[in-house]
Amino acid sequence: MASGTQPAGRPAPAAGGDPAADLRARIVLSWLVEPGHRIIHSLVERYSATAVLDFARAGDLPEPRLRESVAARLRAADPDRVADAALAGAARLGADVLTPGDDAWPAALDDLRHLESTARDGNTRPPLLLWVRGEAPRTLLGGAGVAVVGARACSPYGSHVATDLGYGLAERGWTVVSGGAFGIDAAAHRGALTAGGATVAVLACGVDRPYPSGNASLFERILATGLLVSEWPPGAAPHRHRFLVRNRVIAALAAGTVVVEASPRSGALATLRRAAALGRVAMAVPGPVTAATSTGCHLALREEPGARLVARAADVIEEVGRWGADLAPLPRGRETVLDRLPPDAAAVLEVVPPSRPAAADAVSGAAGLPVRTVLRVLPLLVDLDLVRAVDGGYVLGPRRP
Amino acid sequence: MASGTQPAGRPAPAAGGDPAADLRARIVLSWLVEPGHRIIHSLVERYSATAVLDFARAGDLPEPRLRESVAARLRAADPDRVADAALAGAARLGADVLTPGDDAWPAALDDLRHLESTARDGNTRPPLLLWVRGEAPRTLLGGAGVAVVGARACSPYGSHVATDLGYGLAERGWTVVSGGAFGIDAAAHRGALTAGGATVAVLACGVDRPYPSGNASLFERILATGLLVSEWPPGAAPHRHRFLVRNRVIAALAAGTVVVEASPRSGALATLRRAAALGRVAMAVPGPVTAATSTGCHLALREEPGARLVARAADVIEEVGRWGADLAPLPRGRETVLDRLPPDAAAVLEVVPPSRPAAADAVSGAAGLPVRTVLRVLPLLVDLDLVRAVDGGYVLGPRRP
């Protein structure tokens, strides 16, 4: 629950601020205006949530559009009953509500304060609060997380890769952050859960009714070891635009965002761009260039400055992790005996004929090496079965390249 | 055949230089020491090929190893007979031998002069000569080319993508440059040939015996409209190390190199790194992260600074087009008037508008050239029907690029 402690770097709330009143005001404001609103967030930071709620009720908000939409909501329901219902619903679920004053509040979300809003998407300010449900400690939200996101309509390849990534990240102690959708989101959570890891699903609706219901058993598993998180109170419906608003929270919570599969117009790419704009690591998994499901990933890797290609969990951890400690080993082909041959021996091996034996001086001429060098390295090649000594010279042996 | 003309920026050959003697000396030197050798190339530039051959015969070369290997080769065969045999072989095939003095010598190869050699691979200097066989004009080598390279043991996916790329590049007038191997090389050539384009296969053996023989019918098709090229004389065998030496020629000839599929230890990746070191565009095609055949491409895209992901021919052309505005694509391998334009005229042609006439001073501003230069070259462009003079200025003409 909201504590009265004062987060560093934030202006002091109005004198005599009451934590319970602050919390109720934040709940009501999050219902009156969709989360992330630039003006509402600025006013709350400058005055306090209770003061801004008073402005709203008095019709004293700037901008006619904002005033009108708030007035319409106020006509539709009583704010006190909204707050009561939300808190009662959370209590029934064992859900908490966190506000920026709480110890468990993920400080990473405050970075959203500096995100440049665009005309198309102005709701990018930090949440006023978070509803949190699940058995994991709330501090999980402030821990080391990687967002794994992507298309709902993913391919079997994308599902496989997302599951693998989720597993690999959880196995190495990273929290997987994602939405709750079918496809990539669900696969990433499943992978992490299979590895015994904790995952965080950030929802665009109330934590009491995680959407889509087809993922109900997955949400049950997430609740058992991880967290469901939302800016919207219990009972809130997953309106379409809320997914885009929600995406900024996924991008901000995690140290980096991986897109596994996406179309060029996917919301997952919007999350990736948000992550990059927040100074987080933007990553994408490649796929066949012949698959429409990977075109968004390839687009991001071509066009998004700083976007990094990742092929496996170790790559992701290398990108988001501490340099050095988490450096991924370079994939290498199998080393063969040929790779370990001294240069002279390799040069001799090149010119030893496959069937008709050549004498040492013929080998010398062909290799461009002195005869004594050739005579020195031939026994090594014979020992390795790369060359066979026969009457009258040398031919390639049973372990020939 | 080698002419006696003096390329710009190169030191004068020894007084009394005889083109035929120079050519024979280059042939013998390319046989005495594997191509690209740092010392040999430096000496040839400083003195002349004939002088260096004299040094070699007299045992006067620096470094004991080089002296010894040259001595071993000289004991194995008579240099004059080597040169005679090579020239006779070329004559039988209708092959030419180009040297840096020739008009058709691809100037791009001279960039290899500045490539930093590594301890592991010191043979990175420009070729002393090129054997060229096929029906295409030799100037094709100096035109707009893209290298498409990759694994011999490619997947059906890689083969499909390489064919598509070869087709798309050829269709847009770019020459495909590659090796002659099975797998990606062959698929890229096939795609280009299917589009009616010209391709260049750079070999690690003589142009009389293109390797592997399993690609014989492909080589026949390349010969009909394109070129087979080699630093090694007719009769030379495809020794293993020669493929690595050869790769630098592929990288240098092309404006950019695309790796379609490769293992992490593939020679194709070495070509890519060479291309990057030469200031060419380094590109790789992604694939499923679950496919071993794409791990080298993903490695390059993660580790090679500046490596660009490409998913289709249009991406490749976007990348190499950015690289050099002066690289006018050769339509179907045929040389056009555009290739023979002086640089100033080409720069002016670039900025002449297609429909709304521009005055000479506007052209001057857009091209970044003095008005008097613009006024000097515009009549030439008008004569060539590339530009049309109209009331109030100049627009592109009927033979516009």
Residue B208: alpha-carbon gap to chain centroid: 19
- Whether residue A279 sits in one domain with residue A221: yes
Q: Which of B72, B241, B299 sits opposite A370 (nearest CB)?
A: B72
Count Cβ atoms below 10 Å from residue B92 Cβ, excluding itself: 10
Residues A309 and A341 in one domain: no
Q: Does residue A316 share a domain with residue A344?
A: no
- Chain A residue at shortest CA distance from B241: A350
Mutation for testing the B interface, residue in A289, A294, A318, A340 having most B CBs under 10 Å? A289
The CA-to-CA distance between both ends of chain B, in Å, stands at 31
On the question of pLDDT at B10 being above 90, the answer is: no
**DSSP letter, residue A126:** P
Q: Do A289 and B295 touch (CB under 8 A)?
A: no
Mean pLDDT of chain A: 88
Out of A160, A288, A367, closest to residue B287 by CB: A288
Residue numbers of the domain that contains A250 = 94-320
Q: Domain of A200: which CATH number?
A: 3.40.50.450
Give the residue from B285, B301, B331 where a domain finishes.
B331
CA dihedral sign of residues A361, A363, A366, A371: negative
pLDDT at B9 over 80: no
Check whether residue A137 and residue A102 sit in a common domain. yes
**What CATH number did the domain enclosing B389 receive?**
1.10.10.10
Closest by Cβ to B288, choosing from A288, A368, A401: A288
pLDDT of B46 reads 92
Q: How much is the pLDDT for A284?
A: 98
Contact B301 A301 (CB under 8 A): yes
The CA-CA-CA angle for residues B181, B249, B55, to 5°, reads: 120
The verdict on B155 and B99 lying in the same domain is no
B5 assigned to some structural domain: no
Residue A191 domain-assigned (yes or no): yes
DSSP B269-292: HHHHHHHHHTTPEEEE----TT-G
Residue A314 near chain B (CB below 8 Å): no
- ipTM of model: 0.76
pLDDT of residue B342: 64
Tell me which of A320, A348, A374 is where a domain ends. Answer: A320
Least-confidence region, from B121-125, B254-258, B312-316: B121-125
Cis peptide before A126 (omega within 30 of 0): no
User: Distance between CA atoms of B292 and B298, rounded to whole angstroms?
Assistant: 10
**Are the Cβ atoms of A367 and B72 closer than 8 angstroms?**
yes
Q: Which of A119-128, B26-35, B148-157 has the lowest mean pLDDT?
A: A119-128
Q: Does B73 touch chain A (CB under 8 A)?
A: yes
Which residues of B are less than 8 Å from A347 in CB distance?
A: 241
Q: Check CB contact of B241 with chain A, cutoff 8 Å.
A: yes
Q: What is the pLDDT of residue B325?
A: 43
What would the pLDDT profile of A110-130 be if each residue is shown by its tens digit?
999 888 765 456 679 999 999
SS3 A326: coil
Count Cβ–Cβ pairs < 8 Å, chain A vs chain B: 103
Nearest CB to A312 within list B32, B289, B301: B289
Is residue A107 assigned to a domain? yes
Q: pLDDT confidence of B343, banded at 50, 70, 90?
A: low
Q: Say whether both A223 and A281 belong to one domain.
A: yes
Q: Edge to edge, what strands does the sheet with A227-230 contain?
A: A96-98, A130-133, A227-230, A199-203, A175-178, A145-149, A256-259, A281-284, A308-309
B26 touches chain A (CB under 8 A): no
* Cα distances (angstroms) measured from residue B292 to each of A209, A289, A311, B158, B184: 42, 16, 11, 11, 15
Residue A388 inside a domain? The answer is yes
Q: Are residues B193 and B307 in the same domain?
A: yes
pLDDT at A329 over 60: no
The verdict on A310 and A381 lying in the same domain is: no
We report the CATH number of the domain holding residue A392 as 1.10.10
Same domain, B326 and B348: no
Q: Is A325 in the B-facing interface, judged by CB distances under 8 Å? A: no
In this structure, are residues B154 and B263 in contact, taking their beta carbons and an 8 Å threshold?
no
A230 close contact with B: CB closer than 8 A: no
Does residue B348 sit within a domain? yes
Residue A156: predicted pLDDT = 97
Residue A25 lies in a domain: no
Beta-strand (E) ranges in B281-344?
281-284, 308-309
pLDDT at B115 (0 to 100): 79
B267 in the same domain as B206: yes
Of B208, B197, B191, B209, nearest to B150 by C-alpha is B191
pLDDT at residue A222 above 80? yes
Q: Is residue B11 part of a domain?
A: no
The C-alpha of B166 sits at a distance from chain A's nearest C-alpha, in angstroms, of: 15
Which residues have C-beta within 8 Å of that of residue A379, sequence separation ≥ 6? none
Domain C-terminal end among B103, B118, B140 = B103
- Residue B235: Cβ within 10 Å count: 15
Q: Does B311 touch chain A (CB under 8 A)?
A: yes
Q: Could you tell me if residue B336 is inside a domain?
A: no
Three-state SS string over A166-229 comes to HHHHHHCCCEEEECCCCCHHHHHHHHHHHCCCCEEEEECCCCCCCCCHHHHHHHHHHHHHCEEE
Say if B307 is an interface residue toward chain A (CB within 8 Å): no
- Cβ B289–A289 below 8 Å, yes or no? no
Kindly tell me if the per-residue pLDDT of B122 is higher than 80: no
A311 and A353, same domain (yes or no):
no
With a CB cutoff of 8 Å and minimum separation 6, the contacts of A114 are: none
The helix-helix angle for A343-351 and A371-383 (nearest 10°) equals 90
Instruction: Report whether B388 contacts B394 (CB < 8 A).
Output: yes
Find the DSSP H helices in A6-117.
Answer: 19-32, 38-46, 49-57, 64-76, 79-93
pLDDT average, residue stretch A162-169 = 97
Q: Does residue A150 carry a pLDDT above 70?
A: yes
d(CA B225, CA B194): 11
Q: Give how many domains chain B has, as a whole number.
A: 3
pLDDT digits (tens, 9 = 90+) for B352-398: 888 888 888 888 877 777 777 788 778 778 877 788 888 878 988 87
- Same-domain check for residues A245 and A359: no
